[in-house]
Amino acid sequence: MAPALLLVPAALASFILAFGTGVEFVRFTSLRPLLGGIPESGGPVSRQGWMAALQDRGILAALAWDLGLLLLFVGQHSLMATETVKAWTSRYFGVLQRSLYVACTALALQLVMRCWEPVPRGPVLWEARAEPWATWVPLLCFVLHVISWLLIFSILLVFDYAELMGLKQVYYHVLGLGEPLALKSPRALRLFSHLRHPVCVELLTVLWVVPTLGTDRLLLALLLTLYLGLAHGLDQQDLRYLRAQLQRKLHLLSRPQDGDAE
């Protein structure tokens, strides 16, 4: 039992790292472009046109650096999700395989966010500058971002969040209950194989709905949109199962407790 209990701190450390990275990702994708920080709209900085930007080595170098960071994240996230790599990590790390995947993903995403190179002098696809748009567009974007993040957290309740983070695997292992996925229904396993990111639409809203879509933000939104689109393969059977699970959990949440009934 003692060696098994040593796995718990490793799984908790991976979870804490992932949680902190998630909070930082909210700041990176929503708070920074909506509330300030590193300027994405350039403000007083003079912007170049698209043709001039393609000839500016400074802008091209920054975009190439950002593209490399994104490809590193996408490569890590996809490569470690393949059956070959999962089998290898399971052989050497055992029940910590999922925690290792989560930790590596969090570290890759941290690298993207901390090393991201803004392009304040680059052109913009759109920008709300004139009134009343300069006031109302950021407010509308803020509301949509808040709704999107609330939906993301709500959707995660439908899925097994502890299992996604690798905590449940270690918990079951310590108690000798086996692999959590072995207890899932065939429909659930089929859904998980088709849907790697259950919050695609909400993330796309966060990526694209901003008051100013600068060059580096456009690169971020385009590449992650392409990646999210390729990672999905839902069909009607998956959607019916998702709807049934959501209705079941909403029914459980709305059911009165024993204390309330008395």
Identify the pLDDT of residue 140: 93
Write out the residue range of the structural domain in which residue 58 sits.
1-34+47-252
**227 domain residue, yes or no:** yes
Higher pLDDT, 34 or 112: 112
Mean pLDDT on 174-185: 61
Q: How confident is the model at residue 17 (pLDDT cuts 50, 70, 90)?
A: very high
Paired with 126 in beta bridges are 213
pLDDT of 111 reads 96
Which tops the pLDDT comparison, 28 or 256? 28
What is the pLDDT averaged over residues 44-51?
63
- Whether 257 is covered by a domain: the verdict is no
Q: Can you give the pLDDT at residue 6?
A: 76
- Residue 157: inside a domain, yes or no? yes
Selected residue with higher pLDDT from 46 and 115: 115
User: Which residue type occupies 14?
Assistant: S
- Rounded distance between C-alpha atoms, residue 165 and residue 21, angstroms: 13
Residue 40 is assigned to a structural domain of this protein: no
Say whether pLDDT at 70 is over 90.
yes
**How many CA atoms within 13 Å lie on the side-chain side of 17?**
21
DSSP alpha helices (H): ranges in the chain?
Answer: 2-5, 7-26, 32-35, 50-53, 57-79, 83-93, 97-115, 133-158, 161-164, 167-175, 186-194, 200-208, 215-230, 236-254, 258-261
pLDDT of the residue at 39: 43
DSSP 79-114: HTTSHHHHHHHHHHHGGGHHHHHHHHHHHHHHHHHH
Mean pLDDT for the stretch of residues 138-150: 92
Confidence tier at 172 by pLDDT (50, 70, 90): confident
Average pLDDT estimate for 99-121? 93
Q: What is the DSSP letter of 27?
A: I
Domain membership of residue 259 (yes or no) is: no
Looking at per-residue pLDDT, the higher value among 189 and 248 belongs to 248
Q: What pLDDT is recorded for position 64?
A: 95
Domain membership flag for residue 167 = yes
Strand, helix or coil at 22?
Answer: helix
Confidence of residue 55 (pLDDT cuts 50, 70, 90): confident
How many structural domains are present in the chain?
1
The β-bridge partners of 127 are 212
- Please compute the mean of the pLDDT values over residues 45-53 and round it to a whole number: 69
* Confidence category of residue 187, pLDDT binned at 50, 70, 90: low
Q: Which amino acid is at 224?
A: L
Q: Give the SS3 label for residue 44.
A: coil
Model confidence at 160, pLDDT cuts 50, 70, 90, reads low
